[in-house]
Amino acid sequence: MENLGLMIYENDTVVVSSKMVAEKFEKNHFDVLRTLTAKLRSPNKDRLSQHFFKSTYKDEQDKPRPMYLMDRDGFSFLVMGFTGEKADKWKLDFIDAFDEMEQEINSRNDIALIEWQSKYNELENKLQETQKNRRQWVLKGARDNVILGYLQSMMTLKGSIVQEDFDTVMNFVKDNIIQLQDKIERENGNL
């Protein structure tokens, strides 16, 4: 397909310049600008202005000259009145070019969305794993502190009670530690 000068403008809007339209439809650019200026001053200017964007280009002497960029709807509105076989051919060529560029943009956006979704899911999984590891660490720390506390208490008691009483207390502590470990493992299983 011939290069029709379509380009991507703000917010992934596909546009074409009034200069390119004038060239392809064999119109004087000044006349196209005059028509657009009149239309953009009409009672419908609010609705039309969202499809046309003032811009400039450099002429042969490298001087800036006015032109408009227009989206698909602006293009359609402008060329609606152009008639003849050549005009019909260019209308269809431009419509195809708009379709092609818009599909390319949508495809690119779809790929970007998939990549961002994948990154989001990866970060979400890392966050969940970190939270799970943190909870396990907290529970393990709590269990270790309880065990150390019991052992410290037993060591203190050992010096002040007889061996049989100490063995009874130690058995009680061991039973409680086993129950505590079971509880922690159940909670870990529910993380």
User: Helices 85-158 and 72-79: crossing angle, nearest 10°?
Assistant: 170
Examine residue 46 and state whether it is found in any structural domain, yes or no.
Answer: yes
Confidence (pLDDT) at 166: 62
Examine residue 113 and state whether it is found in any structural domain, yes or no.
Answer: no
Examine residue 102 and state whether it is found in any structural domain, yes or no.
Answer: no
Q: DSSP secondary structure string, 99-113?
A: HHHHHHHHHHHHHHH
Let me know whether 122 and 78 are in one domain.
no
Examine residue 139 and state whether it is found in any structural domain, yes or no.
Answer: yes
How many domains are contained in the chain? 2
Q: List, in sequence order, every beta strand (DSSP E) within the chain.
A: 7-9, 13-17, 52-58, 64-70
Examine residue 104 and state whether it is found in any structural domain, yes or no.
Answer: no
Let me know whether 122 and 74 are in one domain.
no
Confidence band, pLDDT 50/70/90 cuts, at residue 29: very high
Examine residue 143 and state whether it is found in any structural domain, yes or no.
Answer: yes
pTM of the model as a whole: 0.54
Give the structural domain span for 176: 118-189
pLDDT tens-place string over residues 105-144? 888 777 777 877 777 777 777 777 777 777 666 666 666 6
Is the pLDDT confidence value at 32 over 90?
yes
Examine residue 64 and state whether it is found in any structural domain, yes or no.
Answer: yes
Contact at 8 Å (CB) between 67 and 29?
A: yes
Q: Three-state DSSP class for 65?
A: strand
